[in-house]
Amino acid sequence: MSLKTVILGVGAYLPARVLTNTELSQRVDTSDAWIIERTGIRERRIAGETERTSDLAIAAARQALERAGRDGKDIDLIIVATTTPDLTFPATAARVQAALRAQGAAFDLQAVCSGFIFALTTADNFLARGQAKRALVIGAETFSRILDWDDRGTCVLFGDGAGAVVVEAQSEAEANGRGVLSTFIRTDGRMHDLLYTDGGPSQTGTVGKVRMVGNAVFRQAVEHISGAMLEACARADTPIDAVDWFVPHQANQRILDGVARKLGISTEKVISTVALHGNTSAASVPLALEAAISDGRIKQGDLVLMEALGGGLTWGAALARL
């Protein structure tokens, strides 16, 4: 019997503190006008001093569970996609599991900004094989902790937040057309040096700060994201025109526009939260999904194509009927 990975509920959490472009321009040589023109970002959220990635993840997961009409004990798999774990170990997912009183297995997954797509792909495979019944797939980041606040090329781009989805394995009859229809993930480690941290437990014994060759990543992003979207559609034998909503990773409005132009997609179908969230890395896709469900744009039954590209380089796309 073939099983489908059905999305039952989506939740989000954003820290209270808003950091504006104007505040940043008092710290580094930048301006509100430059940031808006080159990225579309107006503000981003920053986690409080004692707020950990797991706190953000737990808050988003609780909302997703409530909306799914499920409880922590119904969950037997938790995957937290994060680049900014609470600690080097144990996994941030372990703390999330304990807080939610969930069962089964819980682990972190590291694919930087593509983390949510990689985690959803992983959960889909676990559910399809019957190795878990109900999973929480979470993207959670406190990226502000690994930024070099003197580097204007990166510190203006990122923000903190978390998004979560509850997915359930259902028979095709029960799913009735809903569920994850296809996924596609890729890594090309030869582009490692385009986006990385200059520290880590094994190499330096420190956490390190984000380093990026922004314009090179930009060029890769438009190319690979477009390719991943077409591949995910091809794998589901679905024309891209049939997609109701595009939920992209929120790195830069110009990337969203570039991809839409390249694939002939109406920008009205592209969900954009970059102005208010900035780039929240692994959290950005579920945060954008949650925003568009909450404001009534994305409804049950809609066909949604999610995509992302991040450090590694990694990239991917996932097509799902909600």
Question: CB of 40: closest distance to ligand UT7 in angstroms?
Answer: 9
Contact 128, 3 (CB under 8 A): yes
Question: CB of 129: closest distance to ligand UT7 in angstroms?
Answer: 30
* Annotated catalytic residue within 155, 252, 277, 279: 279
Instruction: Pick the piece of the chain touching ligand UT7 (CB under 6 A) from 27-35, 79-87, 258-266, 269-277.
Output: 27-35
Instruction: Pick the piece of the chain touching ligand UT7 (CB under 6 A) from 55-63, 126-134, 216-224, 290-298.
Output: 216-224
Residue 181 interacts with ligand UT7 (CB under 6 A)?
no
Residue 249 annotated to the active site:
yes
Residue 63 interacts with ligand UT7 (CB under 6 A)?
no
Residue 279 annotated to the active site:
yes
- Single residue of 19, 77, 111, 255 touching ligand UT7 by CB under 6 A: 255
**Degrees (nearest 5) of the Cα angle 215, 292, 40?**
30
> Could you tell me the maximum CA-CA distance found in the chain, to the nearest angstrom?
60
Q: Establish whether the linkage from the previous residue to 256 is cis, with ω within 30° of 0.
A: no
In one-letter notation, the amino acid at residue 85 is P
Tokens 């900014």 found at? 84
As a whole number of angstroms, the distance between CA 80 and CA 115 comes to: 8
Contact 8, 68 (CB under 8 A): yes
Provide the 10 A C-beta neighbour count for residue 5: 28
* Annotated catalytic residue within 113, 233, 252, 277: 113
As a whole number of angstroms, the distance between CA 260 and CA 11 comes to: 26
3-state secondary structure of 70: coil
What is the DSSP secondary structure assignment for residue 231, as one 8-state letter?
H
Task: Output the CA–CA distances (angstroms, integers) from residue 24 to 158, 172, 209, in the order listed.
Answer: 12, 50, 18
- Single residue of 83, 122, 279, 280 touching ligand UT7 by CB under 6 A: 279
Q: Which of residues 71-110 bind ligand UT7 (CB under 6 A)?
A: none
Residue closer to ligand UT7 (CB basis): 189 or 296: 189
Residue closer to ligand UT7 (CB basis): 104 or 214: 214
Site map 106..145 versus ligand UT7, x via CB under 6 A: -------x--------------------------------
As a whole number of angstroms, the distance between CA 290 and CA 225 comes to: 21
List the catalytic residues.
Answer: 113, 249, 279
Q: Which residues contribute to the site for ligand UT7 (CB under 6 A)?
A: 30, 34-35, 38-39, 113, 152-153, 156, 214-215, 217-218, 221, 251-252, 255, 279, 309-310
